[in-house]
Amino acid sequence: MAESPTSSDAPAGDAARLLDNMLRAMQLHRHPRVFLAALERPASGGAQADGDIPAALATMVATLRPAMLLVLGHVAARAALGRSEPLGRLRAAAHQIAGCPAVVTYDPAFLLRSQATKAAAWADLCRALATVRSAGSGATDA
- Nearest one of 31, 7, 4 to 16, comparing CA atoms: 4
| pLDDT per residue rounded down to tens, the chain (142 residues) | 444 434 445 567 899 899 888 888 888 777 777 777 777 655 555 544 556 778 888 999 999 988 889 999 999 999 899 999 999 999 999 999 999 999 999 999 999 999 899 999 999 999 988 888 887 644 444 4
Greatest alpha-carbon span in the chain = 43
Sheet containing 38-40: which strands, arranged edge to edge? 38-40, 2-4, 69-72, 100-105, 95-97
pLDDT at res. 35: 79
Split into its structural domains, the chain has a count of 1
pLDDT at res. 54: 81
Structural domain including 69 reads: 2-141
What's the CATH code of the domain at 109? 3.40.470.10
